[in-house]
């Protein structure tokens, strides 16, 4: 850590080598977030990034360490400030929200998606105790054919972002794993996906399996009936 800064009562960090961008209360924007479903790999894609507030809470909130004065160099472990979140970005352009969301998917995760292909999920308040901003969540499906780059964010904006892939089979355990710092919106996005996108396919699979079982059961029943009739005929 290079520097601790205070701006409009918001205490943030600039991480050495990562160039973490700071933001004050007067610069808070609404945002978009995207549930990215990689349909070929049967997984959801998230982003891992450094959050100054998380680092501050984990290192200094307990009172065991004294908060350094503004401008003091900090010799800390940046990994203590990492979180796993939905791909997201602030609304700082005069564009439709879907277009901003599509740009964030390409910038952070490297996939070229069309704004018209995004499905709007919901809009809700975030940071109700501090910022009161609005966040709109979208759902996107991607394939490897849509990949343009490895993503990683925009270096010009001071972003350090790593893509994280979680298989669908592990999603429920992922959102309940308290060892992985994640915001509520991330858990909501996963829960929505499991209910709205995974459940219908699961029900269809179960329906097909039931039909197959019913056919097999009917065949066994018919065979048993014919066998019984045959045995009765032989006895006569």
pLDDT digits (tens, 9 = 90+) for 179-199: 999 999 999 999 999 999 987
Is the pLDDT assigned to residue 52 strictly greater than 90? no
Give 43's pLDDT tier (boundaries 50, 70, 90). Answer: very high
pTM: 0.73
Mean pLDDT of 218-235: 52
Q: What is the pLDDT of residue 71?
A: 64
Residue, of 203 and 150, whose pLDDT is higher: 150
Give 81's pLDDT tier (boundaries 50, 70, 90). Answer: confident
Is the pLDDT assigned to residue 12 strictly greater than 60? no
Instruction: Tell me the average pLDDT of the chain.
Output: 78
Give 7's pLDDT tier (boundaries 50, 70, 90). Answer: very low
Q: What is the pLDDT of residue 39?
A: 96
Q: Of 24-28, 46-50, 149-153, 227-231, where does the model show the most confidence?
A: 46-50
Mean pLDDT of 205-221: 55
How many percent of the chain have pLDDT more than 70? Answer: 66
Domain coordinates in residue numbering, the chain: 28-50+83-198
Mean pLDDT of 68-83: 76
Count other C-beta atoms under 10 Å from residue 161's C-beta: 19
* Listed range (95-99, 122-126, 152-156) with the worst mean pLDDT: 152-156
28-50+83-198 carries CATH number 3.40.50.300 = no
Residue, of 221 and 30, whose pLDDT is higher: 30
Give 56's pLDDT tier (boundaries 50, 70, 90). Answer: confident
**Cβ–Cβ under 8 Å, residues 186 and 164:** no
Mean pLDDT of 80-97: 93
Is the pLDDT assigned to residue 174 strictly greater than 80? yes
């Amino acid at each position: 850590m290079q520097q601790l800064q205070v701006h409009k009562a918001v205490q943030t960090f600039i991480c050495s080598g990562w160039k973490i961008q700071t933001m004050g209360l007067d610069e808070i924007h609404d945002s978009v977030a995207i549930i990215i479903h990689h349909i070929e790999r049967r997984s959801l894609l998230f982003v891992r990034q450094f959050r100054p507030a998380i680092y501050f809470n984990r290192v200094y909130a307990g009172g065991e360490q004294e908060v350094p004065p503004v401008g003091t160099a900090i010799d800390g472990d940046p990994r203590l400030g990492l979180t796993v979140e939905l791909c997201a970005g602030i609304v700082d352009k005069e564009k439709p929200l879907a277009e901003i969301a599509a740009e964030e998917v390409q910038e952070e995760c490297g996939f070229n998606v069309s704004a018209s292909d995004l499905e709007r999920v919901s809009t809700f308040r975030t940071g109700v105790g501090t910022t009161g901003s609005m966040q709109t969540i979208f759902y996107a499906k991607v394939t490897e054919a849509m990949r343009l780059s490895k993503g990683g964010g925009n270096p010009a904006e001071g972003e350090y972002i790593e893509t994280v892939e979680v298989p669908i089979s592990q999603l429920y355990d992922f959102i309940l794993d308290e060892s992985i710092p994640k915001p509520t919106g991330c858990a909501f996005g996963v829960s929505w996906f499991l209910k709205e996108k995974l459940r219908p396919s699961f029900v269809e699979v179960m329906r097909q399996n039931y039909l197959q079982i019913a056919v097999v059961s009917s065949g066994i029943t018919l065979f048993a009936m014919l066998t019984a009739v045959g045995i009765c005929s032989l006895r006569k």
